[in-house]
Structure 1
Amino acid sequence: MSIILSIVLGTLFGFALYRVGATHADKIIDMLTLRDLGLAKTIMAAIGLSSSLFFAGIALGIFDPSHMSIKGMYLGVIIGGLLLGFGWALSGMCPGTGVANLGAGRKDAMFFVSGGLIGAWAFTLAYEWLATFGLFKPMLGGKVSLASGVHNIWLAIVIGVAMIAAAFVLPKQIIKD
């Protein structure tokens, strides 16, 4: 049953990405070059809303966060984030929009998704070798969560609401053509 739910939710997520324009490379490039912040505003509002609801659910005892895994901070995460950002800017796709574009039949998405899978496979093969360089040693507190305490959960909710407010306040465009 959970695989069916995953497929249904993934399909709905892909449809939502398509509807807001996140699967269109020109919209991504316009967002990254600050020419059209409509997509960034949508992303901010969605993250703020889902974070606020999630942390409120934790505070009210609706969700049990004990099964969640927090990614530790280490140099490899920073390098990986830079690589992701570079690839996103270069292709106009991130992993989620790449798969959505593949589902929509875009040929360039086939190369993007294939490249991501090959890169992930190569990383698993090189992991032990990369570890010898200290790329995976914890830094800046290691596994730190905004919601590690009761007071922090409410702070997380406030930050989520602030993100929603910022999404409404930000201008649609910063750099004009």
Structure 2
Amino acid sequence: MDLWFGLITGVLFGVLLQRCEVIRYDRQLGALRLRDMTIVKFMLSTVVVGMIGVHLLLDLGLVKLSVKAAVLGGVIPGGLIFGLGWGLAGYCPGTAAGALGEGRLDALWAILGMLVGAGLYAEAYPALKAGLLTWGDYGKITLPQVLGLNHWPIIAVITLGALLLFRWFEKKGL
């Protein structure tokens, strides 16, 4: 049942990507050039909604958090590689799948690049595990733990910040 739920939510997310036009090339390019914040607004909206939903379910005892360790040796190079791939291909993983679903065959290059990158990472993982992936290991921490606060005030501040940022984007025509 979990696999069906994952498939259904993935399809719904893809539909939202398409309906919000975030898989369009001009939107991707605009985001990379900081001239069109449609993708930023979409992703920040999903983060805020997801954050509220997960913590509500957590407080109701319906889910448990599975926090990944904060390892800067993995996050920083991974983010740089992700950004480089997005800049070169014009797609991130979600938008590449959505674009392929729309019939845009150029998205196959992005998906092929992701598969090659995943394969290279799998091959290099044993060496990385003993080296790079140990640098800056802060363990399984969360922002509320670091700040020593309940998660709801942090969620409120992030939500308010997102709303103010959205308003600023709109004033600037972004």
TM-score, with structure 2 as normaliser: 0.84
Instruction: Say which structure is richer in helix.
Output: 2
SS of the equivalent of 2:133 reads: coil
Instruction: Show the counterpart of 1:79.
Output: 77
> Structure 1 pair 74/37, CA: closer, same or farther in 2 (3 Å)?
closer
Q: Which runs of 5+ in 2 are unaligned?
A: none
3-state SS of paired residue (1:142) = coil
* Structure-2 separation of matches of 1:157 and 1:126: 37
Say whether the 8 Å CA contact 1:45–1:163 is kept in structure 2.
no
Residue 141 of structure 2 corresponds to 144
Greater shift, 100-109 or 78-87, is seen at 100-109
* Residues 140/4 of structure 1: CA separation in 2 closer, same or farther (3 Å cut): closer
Q: Is the 8 A contact 2:73 2:137 kept in 1?
A: no
Once the two structures are superposed, the pairs formed by residues 30-109 of structure 1 within 5 Å of their partners are 30-58=30-58, 60-66=59-65, 68-109=66-107
Structure 2 Cα separation of the partners of residues 163 and 43 of structure 1: 14
Q: How many residues align?
A: 173
The alpha carbon displacement at 1:120 in A equals: 0.5
Output one character per residue of 1:19-69: Cα deviation in whole Å (capped at 9) or x when no partner. 1111112101112212122332232223222212322332x3244324x24
Aligned partners of 1:54 and 1:63 also within 8 Å: no
What amino acid maps onto 1:142 in structure 2? G
**Coordinate RMSD, CA, aligned:** 2.5
| CA distance in structure 2 between the partners assigned to 1:159 and 1:55 by the alignment | 15
Task: For residue 163 of structure 1, report the CA deviation from its aligned partner.
Answer: 3.9
Structure 2 partner of 1:19? 19
Greater relative contact order: 1 or 2 (C-alpha under 8 angstroms, separation 6 or more)? Answer: 1
| Distance in structure 1 (CA, Å) of the matches to 2:142 and 2:63 | 15
Question: 2:169 is paired with a residue of what secondary structure?
Answer: coil
